[in-house]
Amino acid sequence: MRKIIVPLLVVFAAFGAHAYIDRDTAVLQVMNKAAGKTQTITAPVGRAVVFEKLNITVRACKQSDPFDAENFYAFTEISKSDGEMFYSNWMNRNNPGKNPVQNADYDVWLVRCE
């Protein structure tokens, strides 16, 4: 039995086996650049949320394993009120600059998953 477990542990360590916890809600921070105002919004996974001229849909919100350093990830789709999608990607709470929301009017970033 020990001959089987040790190689499996080596494989998991080599490939970085991580566990994630699915959460039902994303908490996002949205900044209206023109007005200079920032607001926190809550977006349930799978339902569109309207904020000013934006439609925001979070498709998945995941928390890192509680035994690892805390981090959150959300797959988010953001479109303008006219339907033009300008963002569809993963957001990472600990690295917001990796996949930034690039819009002239708004900045959006992930705060946490609940």
**pLDDT band per the 50, 70, 90 thresholds, residue 19:** confident
Residue-level pLDDT at 43: 98
Query: Is residue 12 in a domain?
Result: no
- 71 within a domain of the structure (yes/no): yes
Query: 53 versus 4: which is more confidently predicted?
Result: 53
Residue 2 has pLDDT above 50, yes or no: no
Runs of H (alpha helix) within 2-104: 2-15
3-state secondary structure (DSSP) of residue 5: helix
Q: Does residue 5 sit within a domain? A: no
Domain that holds residue 33: 18-113
Residue 78 in domain: yes
The answer to whether residues 108 and 30 touch, using CB atoms and an 8 Å cutoff, is yes
Q: Cite the beta strand spans of the chain per DSSP E.
A: 20-23, 25-32, 37-44, 48-51, 54-64, 72-80, 85-92, 106-113
Residue of higher predicted confidence among 105 and 100 = 105
Banded model confidence at residue 68, pLDDT cuts 50, 70, 90: confident
pLDDT band at 98; cut points 50, 70, 90:
confident
1 inside domain: no
Please list the residues that pair with 26 across neighbouring strands.
43, 113
In-domain check, residue 27: yes
